[in-house]
Amino acid sequence: MVLHVLAFIVLLFSHCVNAQAPEEPTLLQNLTIDFTPPNELANLLFPTDVILAETPIAIRTVLVFTIQGYEVIAACDSKALGFLGKRNAIPPHLCAPLPAAKISAFLLNRLYRSQFPLEGRNLEAFLIRQGLDPTSDSTDPTTEIGIANAMAMDLVAYLETDGWNSLGDLSRDHFRQQYSDYTGFKPQNHAELDVSRLRRPLRWQPLKQEADRRGRFTSQVHVAPHIGRAKPLVLSREEFLSRKSESPYASADRKKTIGAKDKRTMRRLLREVLKLNRDLTKEQIAQAHWWDNKFLSLGSFIAFYQGVYGFSLVDFIVIALGEVMAQHDSVMLAWKEKLRHDLVRPPTMLRRLFEGKKIRAFKSLDEGVGLVRAEEWEPIVPIQPHSEYPSASALICQATMDHLHAALTNFIKVNGTIAAYETDIFPFGRSPLTENVKVKYETLQAAALNCGKSRLYAGVHFSPSVDAGFELGKGIGAVAQKHAQDLWEGRIPDNCERCSDA
């Protein structure tokens, strides 16, 4: 899966290689990430477990990577402010391709060693093999390592204290676990509880899932339940806290039983889920898997439009920064509301309300639609380890597409209608398809809507969750786009809490 960050890396370092100094081509080539096929650096920074990370951690990874790219470009500009709202400056001769590539590599190493130690250690060893010394603590402003270290100090200090618990120090003094919960969240219904005996039936129950298709099974633990308390990047704290979604149920906290009104609502929602499931097309199956992987889907849009409109590498990076900041605040907002509502996923309710019955459902591409026991039904993509409402995908996609529309309109200044997006979805991961499927979205809003609806195709959400996600996501993208453009043009953005702290 390939987020905008991967396209960004290719652009950044291919820019360096195309203008490479003849005396050190090998070093420049080794500092260039290549995905056709993946070279050593690509595999070091984006191993499979990073690519398959849960959405909050995937966004965190992209944020950290994009920050380092933006910092170097901004510091080589005459007026741009860095991520923390500070003016940094790299001497012009060190903004040439080779030294700029070294600064980027050293800065990325410092950030990764803090936020993602395993990848950081691997990157450090890689840089040492290239004859570089990423371990130096020098802050000499006349050297690449000194500039990178000086930049890293404030960035690392911010990232280690922004509420994501990236060090694990908010939850443990010893044997720390990065990105672990420090709020004491516990599900109302534990995974081993029979669906007929749920303590609060409409609240989330962790699901039991296959871990490796080799006989190992696990029970879900809610991923990063604490991030709704972290620091927003583009929304004011007041705006962030005021954005709320109403529960789709009348008595979500009711103990032991489901009220009559909620039971009618739930049966209607389950019928919707099953009808969509029975009517699935190959195109919808492809979209469900594609949008499930935010690296592969959302990450392709900036690169696509860079190809259409030919905007510069610098413009690409500024847009990438705005996009990932919009996604950061979106996932935080989604998690704040997920934890506040803590609502049940479709399989749990299907097993409870249709226990002992057979339902008509999609079984596989080979078998088509047929009768299955309600207790055995599974969505076509694995359900993520977090509560159901609202849909984070709908929220993130709405904010992302709003941001891209604003960036193309206000920053790139596209005249007229923005071109349609089109691509081929190729089989990957657990997708049952064996051939490419073409998709085309006439507008960015159409893409956002399809992203949200794909969660219904997948069978992992109820429709009110998707609607709530769309509503919560509106406006975040435009704020993020202005925020990034303000930084680039030398202005402190509104509501930049980290800027005032820097």
The reported pLDDT for the residue numbered 24 is 44
Can you give the residue ranges of every domain in the chain?
4-159, 279-344+380-501
CB 386 within 8 A of CB 335: yes
DSSP for 301-356, please give it: HHHHHHHHH---HHHHHHHHHHHHHHHHHHHHHHHHHHHHH-BPPHHHHHHHHTTT
The reported pLDDT for the residue numbered 3 is 43
- Tokens representing 485 are 């453009």
The reported pLDDT for the residue numbered 392 is 98
* Separation CA 396–CA 334 (nearest Å): 8
The reported pLDDT for the residue numbered 213 is 80
User: Residue 209 gets which letter from DSSP?
Assistant: E
pLDDT tens track, the chain, 502 positions: 334 444 444 444 444 444 444 444 478 778 877 777 788 888 888 888 887 889 999 999 999 999 999 999 999 999 999 999 999 999 999 999 999 999 999 999 999 999 999 899 999 999 999 999 999 999 999 999 999 999 999 999 999 999 999 999 999 999 999 999 999 999 999 999 999 999 999 999 999 988 778 888 899 899 999 999 999 999 999 999 999 999 999 999 999 999 999 999 999 999 999 999 999 999 999 999 999 988 889 989 999 999 999 999 999 999 999 999 999 999 999 999 999 999 999 999 999 999 999 999 999 988 999 999 999 999 999 999 999 999 999 999 999 999 999 999 999 999 999 999 999 998 776 778 778 899 999 999 999 999 999 999 999 999 999 999 999 999 999 999 999 999 999 999 999 999 976 5
Identify the helix (H) or strand (E) that includes residue 210.
strand 208-210
CATH class entry, domain 279-344+380-501: mainly alpha
Cβ-based burial of 363 (10 A; exposed 0-12, middle 13-18, buried ≥19): middle
User: Residue 410 gets which letter from DSSP?
Assistant: I
The pTM is what?
Answer: 0.93
- Tokens representing 66 are 């994009």
The reported pLDDT for the residue numbered 501 is 62
Q: HEC string of 93-111?
A: HHHCHHHHHHHHHHHHHHH
* Separation CA 181–CA 167 (nearest Å): 11
Q: HEC string of 22-46?
A: CCCHHHHHHCCCCECCECHHHHHHC
The reported pLDDT for the residue numbered 502 is 55
Beta-bridge partner residues of 343: 203
Buried b (16+ CB within 10 A) or exposed e, 155-185: bbebbeebebbbbbebbeeeeeebbebeeee
The reported pLDDT for the residue numbered 486 is 98
The reported pLDDT for the residue numbered 120 is 93
